Structure 1
Amino acid sequence: LPNTAADDYKFVYKLIKSGMNCARINCAHDSEEVWMKMIDNVKDASKKLNKNCKVTMDLGGPKLRTGAMVPGAQIIHIKPIRDEYGKSISPAKIWIAPPDVIPPNNSADSILPVDEIWFKKIK
């Protein structure tokens, strides 16, 4: 229901008279006070018209609140080389090492520089 259904009884009455048998209230909008007015109008109009009209309340999900993004690490996409049938014919090669260490013969598809202390831990 639009929020006008809270204050416009005739609007709700006409909806139910026209065949509405379920009123949906979107709880992501308005307030509890507005929802109660909508429900009261639906109940009153249903009773007056002697028609059954259920009320469903659609709960609002979490709202995503974001601000400016701080520049961070670049996302890389690495895929093996495949033939026309999708069969892998050459693996993707990623060089993971401290920034000052270069791959031999530039053999890597992508270079992922990492902290030297962290790198020594994974050897």
Structure 2
Amino acid sequence: MLTGQRASPRTAKACAAGCPGGLEPRCRVGAAEGAHVADRAFAAVDACLSIARKHGLAPVQMALEWVMGQPFACLAIFMVASRARLATALGRADVTLTKEARQAIDDADRAHPMRY
């Protein structure tokens, strides 16, 4: 969802207007094409995309850097549909989250728990 594959209508409009590495004009809205996406996920995505915009980060890079920066062992698994998206995701290696960005993501994680 952070790569722009799916977004709420509000997020799609806002992100298309200026989110680095954000949504493509052809982004699908909602849980289209039979994908199972809980409605509550869109609030979490909206929060993450807002943080990415505020800090000038590509959403997928921000998310991968946050996951890989956790103080415990973890594995970040992501999927891409094109080489361009793969390049964006792999650009995470060049991203360093500021203390403020990391705190904002931590706050969003607590506000929108998505435990599976």
TM range (shorter): under 0.3
Higher fraction of strand: 1
Structure (1 or 2) with the larger CA radius of gyration: 1
Give the structure-2-normalised TM-score: 0.26
Higher fraction of helix: 2
Kindly indicate whether structure 1 or structure 2 has the higher relative contact order, using CA contacts under 8 Å at least 6 residues apart: 2
Give the structure-1-normalised TM-score: 0.25
